[in-house]
Amino acid sequence: MNTYWNKPAETMEREEMSNLQAGRLKEIVTRLYRQQPFYRSKMQEQGLLPEDVVTLEDIKKLPFVSKQDMRDNYPYGLFAAPMSEIVRIHASSGTTGRPTVVGYTKRDIGIWSEVAARSLVAAGLSKQSCIQIAYGYGLFTGGLGIHYGAELLGASVIPISSGNTNRQIMLMKDFGTTAIACTPSYALYIAETMREMGIDPRETKLRTGIFGAEPWTERMRQAIEAQLGIKAMDIYGLSEIIGPGVAIECSEQNGLHISEDHFYPEIINPVTGEVLPDGEKGELVLTTLTKEGMPMIRYRTRDLSVLHREKCDCGRTLVRMSKVLGRSDDMLIIRGVNVFPSQVENVLLGIGSTSPHYQLIVERKGNLDHLTVLVELTEEMFTDEVRGLEELEHKIKGELSSVLSVSATVRLVGPKTIERSEGKAKRVIDKREL
Amino acid sequence: MIINQLSVFVENQPGKLAEVLGVLHTHEINIRAMSVGDTADFGILRIIVNEPEKVQHVLRGAGFTVKITPVASIILSDQPGSLFEQVSKLSSAGVNVEYIYAFAANSAEKHARVVLKVDNLNLAERLISGKCETSEAYGDDACATPNFYW
Ligand SMILES: [Zn+2]
């Protein structure tokens, strides 16, 4: 039997959904034009008035918003509600050391909890579930986002946060955890640790995993499902839009249903910005239709995906996005954390007067992502003493981990040893199989 | 005596040291003294050659990170305790020896030669050459001249 958290919304007929979306779009565009300086000036630059947005098609007239806009308006420039109405602030790492800041009103938290609860139900959870939330709590949206959804659903929540794998496994056994929420790579790490501890995952009550915050493949799903003996479900979200719960896989595991009554998706050609038809691969662009604290109009996610609108066998009519197929920029997601090569460049610039050539190598060692940064030693950085070079490595490592929020191994290498293509050093080598 | 040493960054990988030595060989450069300081990932090859500036140019051209570092060179009488005597002069004056290594032995010479990297080269030089005594090191302005090489 199919169950839904919000059946009317999740099985709404297409026409009704389109009408709802168009009405909400018009409303939010009007509100932003009247109250939000950033959006008003963006629309004025295009000579647009709120009256120009009547149908869903009209969304194409509106300009895109990018992560750069968030950085330029740090910290609160994109907020659309007074601080007295903001009840929560989250932040994620940015490229210049400035985090990306998002704010939620009380109603936004309600919407977030709603879409997260929908996600958990679609993934097979219920009031009877006992969910261990091993996403990080704090500024990262992963932990609290799933937490609020699970509480709204009425599941038993274990807010263990990330890390301490042995303890995760111990509690999983002792508390009778039925579902775990974490990154897919961490799930594989847990599986491996259980093997080392001589624990058979099938003897635990674990049945479902809610995995996201980093791209992963069908092959990884098969590995997780086989090793842990569970259903591995993909959850999608990003803090700029709301956090986890923007989209979720259903029992069909054939694409992720987007809660499109709240988040309107488009797929565009990342180079030209042209909107592409359903079934074509491109960059996912999302518009929040109901958010108050920090609405987003046509936010470029940089995630590559494909949209499908045919009705799903699970009964949901909500549009489906394919599993994320990659990125349209050079961002890396390492252990669920966004990492840009330019962040590394900034750190190196802060150490010498010129940035040396560098390269990020990402590998999956024992199921955990590992970042190695190769730095070509310049004569300026070179000291004659081993200790001096070790201190340099140590300093780079320390600054990288504080800027990136991910620890990295730093290796000094000789000049011209980093592979170059057309004179430019290759910045990133991603050895993970995605 | 203060002499110029060449320091070359060498990754700790098979063949890397050989690459440097190969370049020196091709240019018929004779290594008069050498040492390697290393970690698991990299090493610093330190060499004494006849024309350090020229050799630095050659190695740079071959794509190496090279630096000229002034070091102290001491001629020791070839008998027990002579190195100890020099090093204790330095340590009594508060000069720290970062590393030390010997020149290639030459059977014609009756003396041994060592290279010392210290943290206060001018003072070390004066102490070794006997231009000032350990006890004066802190008091005498001339002897305490800070080292401007770095
Ligand atoms: Zn479905």
Q: For A333-430, CATH number?
A: 3.30.300.30
CB B29, CB B47: distance < 8 Å: no
CB contact under 8 A, A384 and B67: yes
Please tell me whether residues B99 and B42 are part of one structural domain.
no
My answer on whether B63 and B7 are in the same domain is yes
**What sign does the CA torsion over A115, A116, A122, A125 have?**
negative
Give dist(CA A129, CA A127) in Å, integer: 6
B95 and B57 in one domain?
no
For A286-334, how does the pLDDT look when each residue is reduced to its tens digit (9 = 90+)?
999 999 999 999 999 999 999 999 989 999 999 999 999 888 887 888 8
Note the pLDDT tens digit of each residue in B65-118. Answer: 999 999 998 888 878 888 888 888 888 888 888 899 988 766 666 778 888 888
Interface of B with A (CB under 8 A): 5, 7, 9-11, 16, 37-39, 41-44, 46, 63-67, 69, 98-99, 117
Whether residue B143 is contained in a domain is answered as: no
Q: Check residue A361 and give its pLDDT.
A: 93
Last residue in a domain, options B18, B50, B68: B68
Tens digits of residue pLDDT in A100-112: 899 999 999 999 9
Q: Is A312:A320 a contact under the CB 8 Å cutoff?
A: yes
Q: Kindly report the nearest CA distance between residue B3 and chain A, in angstroms.
A: 15
Q: pTM score, two decimals?
A: 0.70
Q: Tell me the mean pLDDT in the region A369-389.
A: 88
Write out pLDDT tens, residues A19-54. Answer: 999 999 999 999 999 999 999 999 999 999 999 999
CA B98 vs CA A340, A386, B14, B95, B101: distances in Å: 39, 10, 27, 9, 11
- Given a cut of 80, whether residue B61 has pLDDT beyond it is yes
Domain with B121, as residue range(s), is 71-133
pLDDT 10s digits, B6-42: 999 998 888 888 999 999 999 999 999 989 888 888 9
Six-digit token string for B87: 């090093």
Residue where one domain finishes, among candidates B41, B68, B95? B68
Q: Judge whether A7-329 and A333-430 match in fold.
A: no
Q: What is the ipTM of this complex?
A: 0.71
B141 within a domain of the structure (yes/no): no
Reading the block at residue A213, the tokens are 């915050």
Question: What is residue A357's predicted lDDT score, i.e. its pLDDT?
Answer: 81
> What's the CATH number where B104 sits?
3.30.2130.10
Q: Which residues 111-140 in chain A show a CB within 8 A of chain B?
A: none
What's the confidence (pLDDT) of residue A166?
Answer: 92
Q: Indicate the number of domains in chain B.
A: 2
Q: Do A385 and B66 touch (CB under 8 A)?
A: no
- Please name which of A103, A145, A173 lies closest in space to residue A159, comparing C-alpha atoms: A145
Contacts of B66 in chain A (CB under 8 A): 379
What pLDDT sits at residue A353? 58
Q: Tell me, which fold does domain A7-329 have in CATH?
A: Rossmann fold (3.40.50)
Question: Nearest-CA residue of chain B relative to A393?
Answer: B41
Domain spans, chain A: 7-329, 333-430
Question: What chain A residue is nearest to B6 in terms of C-alpha separation?
Answer: A384
